[in-house]
Amino acid sequence: MTVSHILEVLALDKKEKITKAAIEVFMEKGINKATISDIVKKAGIAQGTFYLYFPSKLDVMPSIAQVMLNVILDSLNERANSSEIDILIKEMVEVVFDVTNEYRELSKLIYSGLTQTQHIENWEDIYEPLYDWIENKLMQGQKNGYVRQFNNTRSVAKILIGTIESSAEQLFMYNDSDSNLKVHKEELIDFLCIAIKNNPTH
């Protein structure tokens, strides 16, 4: 699925029209050069309608971030279903790396936009459904004896996804080469399995 596919699946209510148009305009012109006039023209709506949903162009960023999160969650639900924790971690790493690679430019756009506004404080709220998904998987693993017990499983869920995302971003968003992709993923998976599994084997 490409960025164009994301745009196609967004429903056509006005808020989603604005979000879709903002993604296109920001990708074409960059955040600083893009204007609200550009966005409403692309969306085919009146400028006053824009302000019913967003006070400024940067206030669209949480909605764009939500679109990206939905892509990750949909991919996890489709591809990460193993009850065995080592396989599940491998599936999670594959999903996050694939999504980060596919949407690296959109991810850069989201981070850039959120850090320019107070909406960076909303990042945790945006990610709550993903934390829920991971925490549920960890708790299932604990119940089945595959995952060791933690003092705070919610915190571990946040650390887990944060570590995977950070590793993927370092490779795809900040490096010029992904020649060590296979080794990078294998080391990450081994590291996470040792940290998460009950009685890990070395």
**Whether pTM exceeds 0.85:** no
Closest CA to 156 of 130, 129, 131, 121: 131
Question: What's residue 202's pLDDT?
Answer: 46
Q: Do 105 and 8 fall within a single domain?
A: no
Q: Do 172 and 89 fall within a single domain?
A: yes
The whole-number mean pLDDT for each consecutive block of 10 residues of the chain, a chain of 202 residues, reads: 54 82 91 93 93 92 90 94 91 95 85 73 87 96 94 97 93 70 93 88 50
- Single-letter code of the amino acid located at 6: I
Question: What's residue 6's pLDDT?
Answer: 54
**Domain enclosing residue 65, as ranges:** 60-196
Q: Vertex 55, ends 52 and 58: CA angle to 5°?
A: 125
Question: What's residue 1's pLDDT?
Answer: 53
Question: Does 143 reside within a domain?
Answer: yes
Beta-carbon contacts of 88 under 8 Å, excluding residues fewer than 6 positions away, are 80, 81, 82, 137, 141
Q: Do 162 and 104 fall within a single domain?
A: yes
Q: Do 71 and 169 fall within a single domain?
A: yes
Q: Which residue carries 């969306």 as its tokens?
A: 43
| Distance (Å, whole) CA 133 – CA 78 | 13
Q: Do 129 and 48 fall within a single domain?
A: no
Question: What's residue 56's pLDDT?
Answer: 92
Question: Does 155 reside within a domain?
Answer: yes
Question: What's residue 14's pLDDT?
Answer: 87
Q: Do 143 and 80 fall within a single domain?
A: yes
Q: Do 77 and 158 fall within a single domain?
A: yes
| Distance (Å, whole) CA 181 – CA 186 | 9
Q: Do 11 and 108 fall within a single domain?
A: no
Q: Do 15 and 70 fall within a single domain?
A: no
Question: Does 105 reside within a domain?
Answer: yes
Kindly provide the residue ranges of all beta strands, DSSP E only, lying in 77-149, ordered along the sequence: none
End-to-end CA distance of the chain: give it in Å, rounded.
36
Give me the CATH number covering residue 27: 1.10.10.60
